[in-house]
Amino acid sequence: MSDPQERGAWSSKIGFILAGAGSAVGLGAIWRFPYYTGENGGAIFTLAFLICCFFIGYPVMIAELTLGRNTQKNPVGMFKKLAKGGGWKWLGGLCILSGFTIFAWYSIIAGWVVGYLYKTAIGTFSEVRDANMISSMFDQFSASGVTVSSLHALIILMTAFVVYRGVKSGIELLSKLLMPLLFLLLILLAIRSITLEGAADGLKFYLYPDFSKVSGMMILKAMGQALFSLSLGMGTMITYGSYLSKKENIPVSAAWITFFELLVCILAGLVIMPAVSAMGQSYTEGPDLIFKVLPSIFGQMPGGYYFGVGFFVLVIIAALTSTVSILEVPVAYFVDEKHWSRKKAVIFVGFIAYLIGTPAALAHGASDFWSNLAGIKGGFFTIISTVFGDISLSIGAFFIAIFVGWLWGVEKATTEIKSEENGITVSEFPIKKYWSFLIKFVAPVTIAIVFGYTMWKTFIGL
Ligand code: PFF
């Protein structure tokens, strides 16, 4: 048993919901959702994403929180405790590996945001009105290896500091401060963006589904994005659930977390898509998208300088409440399973993540080799973020659904969800039937079909 002092716990219900929402709401909603939407056909992608959130994301989130609370463990410890046979331990291992790698590349983007906060604060964009110029300023910035690597290191250090301070004082506190402000700012920015001249095209792209854009890859990306933005498939919610008290109502908490996340995604799309058309930029710009569009929005609103600075500060905090939840997974593993101190685990994981992330940080122009690896745009970055960001999460979510639906079983899960002891129910679970159906059939079958079909098309052709 690990020392409870090393594990920690949430101090209140709202603290947990905010921390869970803090994990979910981050760059996934503000940076990744808009650019995936742009690359994958607009409204049709958003529709597929929403469907995946309701029918796969939400039930898997309930499953992960339940597994975590029942075992009070990290993913590896959880499978060791509940599963017979060593195979499941490997799935736990995949979760830990995803934690390392997602932390590695996610903190690069968070570093870009810090760079953009600095640039905005010193007035770099104040005088520039030309959208193409703003766009090439980003290309220059992301190609500067020293700057992006240093910012990458900075984010890793900041995250390590929060995770080192422990669950209650660090993660909860950050989350509590952030949410209301972020919503408010996004709403104001969305209003500005929608009322820009030339915004109509972007709105149409974002709101009217074009069914000719449906493809296996598009649905796989929507599914990956749903899991990513809800922090599922790599045991974050298992780990967060392990700090959760028996009094909390898991389905209700999960619903709130999902709701907050979707709201931020939809708002972020409303900020970015109309602005893309208004600025004459391309929807398929990829990971650079928001950095090439946002400075122009700020440039065209009264008090834009302050909005810009405020926005980037909030996005950094949103990113940090997510990076801490990602880092927490491998750290909890080393604390629980290897009996390391929190400090040692944090330093080790942070260091390895920096090493793994470095070639990805250089894959935006700083190094030709890493930028064009395997002939793919964005090279190593694109590869690592697709493999550990879409694919690994889909595999994780698939097996978690199978495990809870068929092996551990929905009855045991229900007992945990209701916190039933000696016939006394703490939390009602009115959606049990609906959830059982989703977790046993809909989630795993959909993931298997989408994943199998897309892999087949990509690697075997036809
Ligand atoms: N959900 C986070 C975001 O959207 O920014 C990212 C994330 C956190 C992914 C935790 C996966 C995870 F386990």
Phi-psi region of 274 (alpha: psi -120 to 50; beta: other; left: phi over 0): alpha
Ligand 1 atom closest to Cα of residue 261: 4
Instruction: Check residue 6 and give its pLDDT.
Output: 53
Judge contact between 277 and 38, C-beta under 8 A: no
Alpha-carbon distance of 226 to 50, in angstroms, equals 8
Query: Which pLDDT value is given to residue 18?
Result: 80
| Four-CA torsion 126, 129, 130, 136, nearest 10 degrees | 10
Nearest to 53 by CA among 257, 217, 342, 235: 257
Which pLDDT belongs to residue 166?
A: 66
Q: Which ligand 1 atom sits closest to the C-alpha of 233?
A: 13
Other CB atoms within 10 Å distance of the CB of residue 441: 12
Q: Which atom of ligand 1 is nearest to the CA of 24?
A: 1
Bridge partners of 424, per DSSP, are: 421
Instruction: State the distance from the centre of ligand 1 to the C-alpha of 190, rounded, in angstroms.
Output: 23
Q: Which atom of ligand 1 is nearest to the CA of 323?
A: 8
Residue nearest to atom 11 of ligand 1 (CA): 231
Q: 28 C-alpha to center of ligand 1: Å?
A: 6
- pLDDT at site 82: 93
The alpha carbon of 124 and the centre of ligand 1 are apart by a number of angstroms equal to 30
Quote the pLDDT of residue 264. Answer: 96
pLDDT of residue 9: 67
Pocket of ligand 1 (CB under 6 A): 23-24, 26-29, 102, 228-229, 231, 234, 236, 322, 325-326
Domains detected in the chain: 4-459 (1.20.1740)
Question: To test the ligand 1 pocket, which listed residue (262, 323, 326, 331) has its Cβ within 8 A of the most ligand atoms?
Answer: 326
How many angstroms does the Cα of residue 243 sit away from the middle of ligand 1?
A: 18
Asked whether 70 and 279 are in contact (CB, 8 A), the reply is no
Q: How far is CA 16 from CA 35, 184, 356, 429, in A?
A: 29, 22, 31, 19
First to last CA, the chain: 52
Spacing, Cα 48 to ligand 1 middle (Å): 19
Residues of the chain with pLDDT under 70: 1-12, 166-176, 461-462
Choose the residue to mutate in 36, 94, 106, 238 for probing ligand 1, maximizing ligand atoms within 8 Å of C-beta.
106
Nearest CA to ligand 1 atom 3: 28
Q: Which two tokens stand for residue 57?
A: 């994301």
- Listing DSSP states for 367-430 in one string gives -HHHHTGGG-TTHHHHHHHHIIIIIHHHHHHHHHHHIIIIIIIHHHHHHHHTT-BTTB-SS--T
What pLDDT does residue 377 have?
84
- Nearest-CA residue for ligand 1 atom 8 is 231
Cα separation of 10 and 164, whole Å? Answer: 15
User: Which one of 102, 109, 159 would you pick to mutate in the ligand 1 pocket, going by the greatest count of ligand atoms within 8 A of its CB?
Assistant: 102
How far apart (Å, rounded) are the C-alpha atoms in residues 84 and 86? 7
The CA 23 to ligand 1 mean position distance, Å, reads 6
Q: What is the DSSP letter of 272?
A: H
424 phi/psi in degrees, rounded to 5: -100, 130
pLDDT of residue 461: 65
Asked if 64 and 299 count as a contact pair (C-beta separation under 8 A), the reply is no
Asked whether 172 and 184 are in contact (CB, 8 A), the reply is: no
Q: Which pTM does this prediction carry?
A: 0.93
CA 99 – ligand 1 centroid, Å: 10
Ligand 1 atom at minimum distance from 28 CA: 4
Give the Å distance between the CA of 436 and the centre of ligand 1.
Answer: 25
Of 86, 40, 355, 356, the C-alpha closest to 222 is 40
d(CA 31, CA 36) in angstroms, rounded, equals: 9
230: helix, coil or strand? coil
